[in-house]
Amino acid sequence: MSATSGAVRPPDAGARASAVDRLAALATPAGALGRLGDLAVWLSATTGEVPPPDLRRTGEVRLTVFAGDHGVAAHGVSAYPAAVTPAMVRTVASGRAGVSALAAAHGVSVRVLDVAVDDDLADLPPSVTGRRVRRGSGAIHVEDALTGEETVTAVELGRAVAREERAAGGRLLLGGDLGIGNTTPAASLVAAALGLPAEEVVGRGTGVDEDGLARKTDVVATALARTRGRHDDPVDCLAALGSADLAATTGYLAEAAALGVPVLLDGLMSVACALLAERLAPGAAGWFAAGHRSTEPAQSLALAKLGLEPLLDLGLRLGEGSGAVAAVPVVRSAAALLRGTALLSEVLT
């Protein structure tokens, strides 16, 4: 099984070096900007600009929310019913979701894409529903989420979205998720990638109780056992244990890296897909920064594997891209410091 994979070049080493020099020369004590300094250097290296762009123009920071339903949702793994998925797709489309409020506050463009929602969504425009890969993805503890062909189609859809978002003026891309039950396949993908047992990756998602957590752990363990021997190939992992929306997110992240566009990651779904994108397109992680630490254990495990330290740690477990959007002002703060701070040599005259 194959999905075309663009080669990833590393971020600009020359821009990184001059950003490091500029940071060291600012009228601040050495190291005083802490991780904001590191972030400014990363933004310089990934945009190739020193100082980095301020990212304040409309449309420069863009979020795509990948939506889909999951067969496991019918098996007691979520605190909410699957009917919430289409309802929340409509809510994001009408600009009234949690992430919409954050995006409006921070000047982030939002697009929601129905990759595999199990509902007609006939009231929504083709720009949202017109590229659906299938209605819902398979319940991974009993069957593959997708066929090989559907997986490749979904990955390619995500890649196309990254190209569209860059063409629309995106200079920092964010990925978000919507879909009741999606923390189950996402945790399974992390377990498969890291070779961990279900108990170490499973979290409470929307807030399942002890019984729900036990059922969810069982579903993940059964899915991992069912697919044993297939965990090395990232595309086959997405087919076996993922979903169409997670495959599309993986393609989106891999393609952003291949295009040389920096990405701000969100919670579990985003970071699980980043792990797969790194396997699909080695070096992709160099283009990623982590917006926040979610409460899901698999998200922290995947971040550690990617070598990423999250910018925020707020106990947030919403998804939708909300943690990435909440971190946008931190990224802009880093850029502003490297752009606007005088040099020590200028003030000591």
Ligand X SMILES: Cc1cc2ncn([C@H]3O[C@H](COP(=O)(O)O)[C@@H](O)[C@H]3O)c2cc1C
Chain residues that interact with ligand NIO, rule: CB under 6 A: 183, 205-206, 266-268, 294, 296, 299, 317-319
**Which residue type sits at 159?**
R
Q: Choosing among ligand NIO, ligand X, none, which partner's interface includes residue 78 (Cβ < 5 to 8 Å by kind)?
A: ligand X
Q: Choosing among ligand NIO, ligand X, none, which partner's interface includes residue 268 (Cβ < 5 to 8 Å by kind)?
A: ligand NIO
Among 47, 64, 129, 182, binds ligand X (CB under 6 A): 182
Residue 173 Cβ vs ligand X, minimum distance, rounded to whole Å: 18
> Largest alpha-carbon pair distance within the chain?
72
Q: Quick count: other Cβ atoms within 10 Å of Cβ 21?
A: 11
Residue 73 Cβ vs ligand X, minimum distance, rounded to whole Å: 7
Please identify, using beta-carbon distances, which residue of 158 and 319 lies nearer to ligand NIO: 319
User: Does 177 interact with ligand X (rule: CB under 6 A)?
Assistant: yes
Q: Choosing among ligand NIO, ligand X, none, which partner's interface includes residue 84 (Cβ < 5 to 8 Å by kind)?
A: ligand X
Give the contacts of 14 (CB within 8 A, at least 6 positions apart). none
User: Does 5 interact with ligand X (rule: CB under 6 A)?
Assistant: no
**Residue reference for tokens 């999951």:** 70
User: Does 188 interact with ligand X (rule: CB under 6 A)?
Assistant: no
Residue 202 tokens read as 């499973």
User: Does 320 interact with ligand X (rule: CB under 6 A)?
Assistant: yes
Distance of CA 194 to the CA centre of its chain: 18
Residue 192 Cβ vs ligand X, minimum distance, rounded to whole Å: 17
Residue 125 Cβ vs ligand X, minimum distance, rounded to whole Å: 21
Is 255 an annotated catalytic residue?
no
Please identify, using beta-carbon distances, which residue of 151 and 183 lies nearer to ligand NIO: 183
Measured between alpha carbons, how far is 21 from 208 in angstroms, rounded to an integer?
A: 49
Task: Give the per-residue contact string, 65-104, with ligand X (x = CB under 6 A; - = no).
Answer: -------------xxx---x---x----------------
Residue 317 Cβ vs ligand X, minimum distance, rounded to whole Å: 8
**Which residue type sits at 214?**
A
Among 19, 63, 112, 178, binds ligand X (CB under 6 A): 178
Residue 315 tokens read as 């106990």
User: Does 323 interact with ligand X (rule: CB under 6 A)?
Assistant: no
| Spatial contact of 206 and 78, defined as CB atoms under 8 Å apart | yes
User: Does 203 interact with ligand X (rule: CB under 6 A)?
Assistant: no
Residue 184 Cβ vs ligand X, minimum distance, rounded to whole Å: 6
* Of residues 283, 299, 284, the one with CA closest to residue 252: 284
Catalytic residue, chosen from 49, 150, 278, 320, is 320
Q: Choosing among ligand NIO, ligand X, none, which partner's interface includes residue 262 (Cβ < 5 to 8 Å by kind)?
A: none
| Spatial contact of 66 and 111, defined as CB atoms under 8 Å apart | no
Q: Choosing among ligand NIO, ligand X, none, which partner's interface includes residue 179 (Cβ < 5 to 8 Å by kind)?
A: ligand X
**Residue reference for tokens 């917006």:** 291
Q: Choosing among ligand NIO, ligand X, none, which partner's interface includes residue 310 (Cβ < 5 to 8 Å by kind)?
A: none
Size of site (CB under 6 A) for ligand X: 18
Among 8, 180, 202, 235, binds ligand X (CB under 6 A): 180
Q: Choosing among ligand NIO, ligand X, none, which partner's interface includes residue 296 (Cβ < 5 to 8 Å by kind)?
A: ligand NIO
Residues designated catalytic: 320
Name the site residues for ligand X (rule: CB under 6 A).
78-80, 84, 88, 177-184, 205-206, 318-320
